[in-house]
Chains A and B, each alone.
Chain A
Amino acid sequence: EAGVVQSPRYKIIEKKQPVAFWCNPISGHNTLYWYLQNLGQGPELLIRYENEEAVDDSQLPKDRFSAERLKGVDSTLKIQPAELGDSAVYLCASSRGPSGGTEQYFGPGTRLTVT
Chain B
Amino acid sequence: DAGVTQSPTHLIKTRGQQVTLRCSPKSGHDTVSWYQQALGQGPQFIFQYYEEEERQRGNFPDRFSGHQFPNYSSELNVNALLLGDSALYLCASSPWAQETQYFGPGTRLLVL
Partners in one complex: no
User: A interface vs B, CB < 8 Å?
Assistant: none
